[in-house]
Structures are given as structure tokens and as C-alpha cells.
Chains A and B, each alone.
Chain A
Amino acid sequence: MSKKLNLLLKVWRQEDTDIPGRLVDYPLEGISSDMSFLEMLDVLNERLIKEGQNPIEFDSDCREGICGTCGLVINGVAHGPLQATTVCQLHMRHFGDGETIVIEPWRAKAFPVVRDLVVDRGAFDRIIAAGGFISVNTGSAPDGNAIPIPKEKADNAMDAASCIGCGACVAACPNASAALFVSAKISQFTFLPQGHPERKTRVRRMAAQMDRELFGSCSNHAECEAVCPKEISIANIAVMRREYLKALLG
């Protein structure tokens, strides 16, 4: 059964990339525990509009945890307290009456704040453009069953491929490293025979682009894995390192 919650939100407000932001208090009453976290923010925004204030801008789209658009740091944790759950799938039943909730954007040099809780994650697209693909033109593919792929390998590739590119890994990392995101793509293609011809150039180019975008280095904190809504394993980072070394050595 649903309950009603009274909450105090402390929300990051920032008008533009270059204007310093700050936390602003918003008391909220009568929030249903059945609401999703973003629906709770919708309720607050409706109130702000009615009061003639600018609503809190935040990104969301599918609201079912697959598009990777949403992303908030809630009480210091990317995507909030629930394991393997994006913000849009987090529901208010996981919060207590009277709780104070601090809401901030992803914080990383490579993800500049656009406004309030909205950040620019274009760096991820540029990394994929630097080699996160298999070069096959439309029309030149052989039959889908021409190359059998052991189920285990296909499953491993699927595990890595389920990354939604939300950027929580970067937000959680003390170095703001994109290693988990990049390694998930590299791993997917390492597990599949189709990805092999380009494996060396792929890992070299993607790693170089990652550096150019000002992401930090990975130093094995594993904070990324802890917050990843799709439970992407840091074992992928090991795969990426091995691939990178192999590419450098020959």
C-alpha cells in the first residue's frame, strides 16, 4: 500500500556551464511512495512553474531504465541507493518520511553541466566514433548462422553490450575515468569473432580518444561497478587492458 512522505530536497541549481551553481532547499509534502524518483521531481517542477519559478531541468526519456538518458547523484551515490537501478526506476518507497535528499548532477571534467542537473555526455559518442564499431557495410554480411558462436561467448558479449552509456561509472569514479564504459564496448567485440580483424586499431584509437576527452585513468577503485545500473563487471577493464597491451606489443 502506498504511503505519503514529507521530504526536504537539496537540489543543485546552475544556470549555465560557466555560472557557478549551488544547492537550493525545496521542502515537499505528501509524496506518494508509489511514485518514481523522477515523478517526484515532476511534482516539484509543476509547483515551481505555478509559483513563477524556473523548474529544475533534468534529462530523462524512456523512464524504464534502458535509454541511459537520466542520471542523478542522490545523497552522493550515482543513480541513488538501489543496486542495479537507474534513477528513473528508483521509487520513493525506498525513502523514509522526513528524509533529506541531496540531488546533484554527474560531476566530471569531461561532462560539463549544461543547466541544473543536465550534463553534456558527447564525449562518449566521440569515443565510439573512434572505433567502437565493426566495419561492415550494409549488404555485405554473410548468413547469420555462418559463424557459430559458443553460447558462453555470446552471453559474455551480451553482458558487456548491455551498457546503457549513462555515465554513472564516470560520475562515481574518483578519477572520473571512463574505463568501464569503454571497456564494455571493447569486450563485447573481443568476445565475438566478428570483432577480431579490427581489435588492435579499435582499442588504440578508443583509448587515445578517452584521454583527449579529459577522462581520468582507472586505478581500480571499482566504484563504477558498484553503481552501474546494468551491473557491468570491472573484469571488462582487465579485458581492455590485455587488448591494449597486445595492441601495443604487436
Chain B
Amino acid sequence: MKLDSKVPAGPLESKWERHKFETRLVNPANKRKHTIVVVGTGLAGASAAASMAELGYRVITLCIQDSPRRAHSISAQGGINAAKNYQNDGDSVYRLFYDTIKGGDYRSREANVYRLAEVSNNIIDQCVAQGVPFAREYGGYLSNRSFGGAQVSRTFYARGQTGQQLLLGAYTALMRQVDTGNVTLLPRREMLDLVVADGKARGIVAHNLLTGELESYAGDAVVLCTGGYGNAYYLSTNAINSNVTAAWRCHKRGALFANPCFTQIHPTCVPVSGDHQSKLTLMSESLRNDGRVWVPKQAGDPRPAHEIPESERDYYLERRYPSFGNLVPRDVASRAAKKVCDEGRGVGETGLAVFLDFADAIERLGLEDVRDKYGNLFDMYNRITGEDPYRTPMRIFPAVHYTMGGLWVDYNLMSTIPGLHVLGEANFSDHGANRLGASALMQGLADGYFVIPYTIGDYLVGTPLPEVNTDHESFQETRQAVQERLDKLLSIRGSRTPKEFHRELGRILWDEVGMSRNAQGLQRAMEEIPRLREEFWQDLQLPGSHDMLNKNLEFAGRLADFLELGELMARDALQRDESCGGHFREEHRTPEGEAKRNDDEFCYVSAWEYAGPDRAHLLHKEQLEFEFVELKQRSYK
């Protein structure tokens, strides 16, 4: 299989402009003859569905939540990047592009990332017009703050609830189209398979989560906006229901899965408190604007934070990375935290935490100012831990947060299955091996508001699409396969619950495919995961039946897919015998302990093809061409 990225020729600055001109247009009267199925209603899904419906397409939108407003984008806290340069501090589209390419450790496509930076400014304008209450200065103009991996202040925010406000903006735009009748909204539906007819994506089979019925939806294209797969690790900052199932089923129908081992471990999360833990909570990266990260210099220091004098503290990020300090990118900050904990200098009951200290900020800015900026985060920390971060430093530890890998897409955001488009975190395209803070919201909305409305038209015009409805044999076959699988899950009647299996998978992935990886551990994971998968299919215990609301059945189906994906994550991590971004192979590090890339051998996207049950995945490579940026050792010193 030849992977064609379809990146347009020409200078970087004019690629997108030219591409937009060259894409074929659908006549306004013809748009209403096309139905597009959009799966997921996060930032990417809601913005895509709303924007396409505004153009006149018929849109069917599904989400697993009881309301589209609850999609997991809502949890994003800190902000959204844009190259407005309102601060006059030297920002530009090119700088945002450059920071993002560098932040991703040179494992993303130049043209995609440039387009992302280019449309970033339109996103802010769009959101302001929708009534998103971004933070403002006293003069009434928009306010900015800094995020990791950048030396300019380009992050727009709405207190610590930026994702919520952006999602509500996209959600209200979506609901407006529901009101016009252009969008058919179907909440509490989970996509369980993709329907491919004559080699093209023509619809989906979904599970009605309230009644258990299987439902089919046909269209001329499918747009997948179903988020990332961080929950493979069991514990992550993802929502309880976030999953890979929709993407994985597409993968098994022929869509290549790219860079599955590129996962982001976020440095600032509330540490695990016990075995009962069901999820981990992020403390926004924005806290690193004012908080200082430290541990005691002495290993095993038993004293509480306030008894450790300044001279016996190690502000290790400021020490190791003087120019970026506490605002180094996430992968760098996470590994640094792991390193000091491995040295026995971690704090708290488990020793698996570092301090994030606001004493200096409170001294400098005053308590009120700090409360104004971070109050909701401090309150959240207090509710979870019972400790008051205004008085004692927060304890934080890295946690799985975001997945840069995902379904492979070309410049038009189309996967290797014609008609199947993939947006937002579900695709692999823009963040390389490490995503910078405040860039996920930017990408989700860029894809949905400003890319897919153009590229979908080109596909629809240029593709013969004979009438296919839900009675078509491809729908019947797919529905039957889905039903058999649900029946199989319920018929095992073993002795272990989905949670028990999921915890075990999470442990393997965290230990072997987590913050630092080595060949031996990855091989171990590739043996342990198939064994666990086999046990799962023999010993799963599920309550109830499939014709009722049955959340354990939902979880079991998702876990079955994580058990397959987990193995591929390990395989990909083993095959990529270099360190880059969040993928840190212990065998490949610089003398200072930083990730050491191998551009000669690994400057490509790994796109994996499903080869059938019990057969190893096949690797395809998309070579990354860097025409405009010089590949360098990433340095934040």
C-alpha cells in the first residue's frame, strides 16, 4: 500500500490557500442531497457537524453521552493557542508552526501543522462571535497566558474551563442546526462498526445504549471524531467512557492506525491514592506559569514541605532547563519528575509525587490574584486530596493524558478507507511525538470548523456514490457481526469483571509502554497482553443482557478493543528503535538523559495495517519530508 499524504505543492505559506481553490465545490442545491454521518460531538465533531450543516449538508450526529455538551473536550482546562500576536511579543503563524513542529519532536507533517497555525486565528474570532467568554483585560481586550514549549504568550483561556466554554460554543452552534432540521441528533448511541460498501465508507452500525437495539445509519461519508485512546491504560485523565472502539473498528475494516505508541503523559496530575482509583485528575499546565516544581535534595527526606529550607530544595526544572524553566514541554517535565522519584526524592505517602509550589506566586501576586487565576483548580485539588494548596504545595505526578497517535489521514483528513474522514484526537496528524499544551483544542476546532467543510466537498464531488441504504447487504452483514460479538461477550459467563481485566491491562501498559520503554519490557508486554486477551474471552463475567441499559456490556466491548490496541502500542514502540517526544526508549538517550532521535532511520510515520485475527500487523511508512524546517536536537535549556 502506497501512502499518499496528498500534501499540495508550493510554498508552505500558500499550500492551504491554493488547495482550497483547487478543491471542487458542491453546488448549494446539491449539498442537501448528501448525508454525512458524524460520530462524536466533542470539539471536532460538534464544530464539523455544525459547519457542514450550515453549508446545507444533511448531517446525522451521534454521541455516547446523554447530551452532546458532555463530550470529553469539556474537561480541557488551560487554553487554546493562536498566533494573534496581540501581546506584541514576537508571535506569528510561522512561530506557532515552528514551536508545534519542534514540540512534536519533528514527527509530524509540515503542511498540516502550518495549516493548523494558519487557521488558529480564525478559531478565536469564531468562538468570540459565538459568545465564548474568554478572559479579558480591563480595557476589554482579550487576555493571554503562556504554556509549555513556547516563549511567547499566545494562549487564550476562559478561567480554568476553556474546553468547556469552547465546547459549549460548538454545541450551541450544533443545536442551532438541530433546530433548523439540518442535523439529526442521536445521543446515547455508540458506534460499534463501520459499514464499507464497494470499498467506501457508507455508514455505521450503532448500539442504542438505552434499549440495547442495534441501529444502522447510511450516508455518503463518515466523519469520525471520537477522541483518543488514553483509557487503554485504565487510569488516565480521560473520561470514564472515552474509548478507542469506533476508531479500532474502522481500523479492522481497513483504516491504517498511525503511531499508536505516541502517547502523552501529562506532568501535573493529582497522584493515585489507592486501588479504588477510577480515574486521574489533571491539574492544568497553566499552573506552571506561576507554580514552581521541586523535590527535597536529600533522598527519603521525611519532613513536610514547610520544614524543608530553601537551600535543601531542588527546583530541578529551573536548574536543568534555565531558559524554559517550569514551562518545558510535557514529555520533558514528566520524565524529569519520574527521574527524581526514581532517585528516591519523591514526596508524599507513596513517594510518587513532586511538589508544585505557589508560595512565591502568592507572595508576588497576592492571594486574591492567584485565586482569580487558578481558584477553580485549587478548589478541585482540595476536594480530591483534602489539602489546601494555598497553604501547602500541591503534590503532582505524571498521568496518561492524550494520544498523538490515531487513524492515519491525508492532508484532506481522509483515512485509507475512501469516505472515512477522521478529525481531532482520533487522527494522528498534527502533534508528532508530543503535543504542546493548548494545542488539542486548536486542532479539534481547526479540523471541524475550517478544514473538513472544504475537503468533504471535494470528496463528494469527485466520487461516484451509488444509492446505498441500510437494507444494503453490507449493512446486514455488519449488523450481524456486531450482534454476534455482543452475544459472545454475554455468553462467556466467567468469573472476572471488565474492571478487573482493565486494571491488569493498564498495569502492563503503564509499566512497559509508559513514560520510559525498553526492548525487553516491550517484548514482555507483547507476550502478556495476548495472554490477558485470551483470558478475557474465556473468563469474563458480565451482568444482565444486551436488550437493556447495561454499562458493563459497554465497558467490556471497549476493553476487548483496548486489549488488541494495547498489543499494537507495544509493537509500535518496539519497532520505533529511537527516542522522540513522549516515546522514550531507554536505549536511546543523550549524555544529559534527553530523548535521542534517529532521523536517518525513523523520520517517518508508522502506519499499521490490520492483517486479520491472530496475525501480526503490517507496517507501512510515510516518509516525513522537511522542506522548510531544519531538524535539530530539541533543546529547552
Contact = CB atoms under 8 A, between A and B. Distances in A.
Interface of A: 2, 32, 34-36, 38-40, 42-43, 46, 48-50, 52-55, 57, 59-69, 82, 84-85, 89-91, 93, 114-115, 118, 120-122, 124-125, 128-145, 147-151, 154-155, 157-158, 161-162, 164-165, 188-189, 191-192, 194-195
A145 B82 CA distance: 13
B150 interface: no
Contacts of B626: none
10 contacts: A2-B273, A42-B276, A67-B70, A67-B239, A69-B66, A122-B187, A129-B178, A136-B129, A138-B450, A145-B86
B497 interface: yes
B74 A151 contact: no
Contacts, number: 227
A35 B276 CA distance: 7
**In the complex, which of the residues B70, B124, B161, B239 has the most CB atoms of chain A within 10 Å of its own CB atom?**
B70
B200 interface: no
B594 to A, nearest CB: 32
B176 interface: yes
Interface residues of B, number: 85
A137 B66 contact: no
Contacts of B450: 138-139
A46 B499 contact: yes
A61 B51 contact: no
Given A138-B47, A162-B164, A89 B276 contact: no
A49 B552 contact: yes
A188 B133 contact: yes
Interface string B172-201: 110110110000010100000000000000
A178 to B, nearest CB: 14
A151 B137 CA distance: 6
Contacts of A140: 129
A8 to B, nearest CB: 19
B278 interface: yes
Contacts of B552: 49, 55
Contact of A138 (B54, B67, B159): B54
Interface stretch (B378-386, B393-401, B474-482): B378-386
**In the complex, which of the residues A66, A84, A91 has the most CB atoms of chain B within 10 Å of its own CB atom?**
A66
Contacts of A35: 274, 276
A124 B172 CA distance: 12
B18 to A, nearest CB: 18
Nearest to A154: B136
A134 B172 CA distance: 8
Interface stretch (B289-297, B433-441, B540-548, B612-620): B540-548
Given A137-B54, A138-B51, A132 B274 contact: no
Nearest to A48: B543
Interface string B261-281: 000000000000110111101
Interface in B55-78: 65-70, 72, 74-75
Contacts of A164: 164
Given A63-B278, A64-B380, A129-B179, A161 B165 contact: yes
A135 B176 contact: yes
Contact of B67 (A52, A60, A125, A133): A125
B84 A144 contact: yes
A93 B386 contact: yes
A120 B188 CA distance: 10
A124 to B, nearest CB: 7
Given A62-B72, A157-B131, A144 B142 contact: yes
Contacts of A120: 66
**In the complex, which of the residues A59, A67, A69, A90 has the most CB atoms of chain B within 10 Å of its own CB atom?**
A67
Contacts of A147: 128
A115 B129 contact: no
B126 A50 contact: no
A62 B175 contact: no
Contact of A194 (B128, B176, B550): B128
A122 B138 CA distance: 39
Contact of A133 (B156, B159, B175): B175
**In the complex, which of the residues B86, B124, B172, B500 has the most CB atoms of chain A within 10 Å of its own CB atom?**
B172
B551 A138 contact: no
B274 A122 contact: no
Nearest to B66: A121
A61 B138 contact: no
A187 to B, nearest CB: 11
Contacts of A50: 495, 497, 541
B28 interface: no
**In the complex, which of the residues B134, B453, B499, B551 has the most CB atoms of chain A within 10 Å of its own CB atom?**
B551
B140 A115 contact: no
Contacts of A165: 67, 69-70
Given A93-B386, A114-B210, A143 B125 contact: yes
B353 to A, nearest CB: 14
A165 B31 CA distance: 34
Contacts of B134: 144, 154
Nearest to A41: B278
B468 interface: no
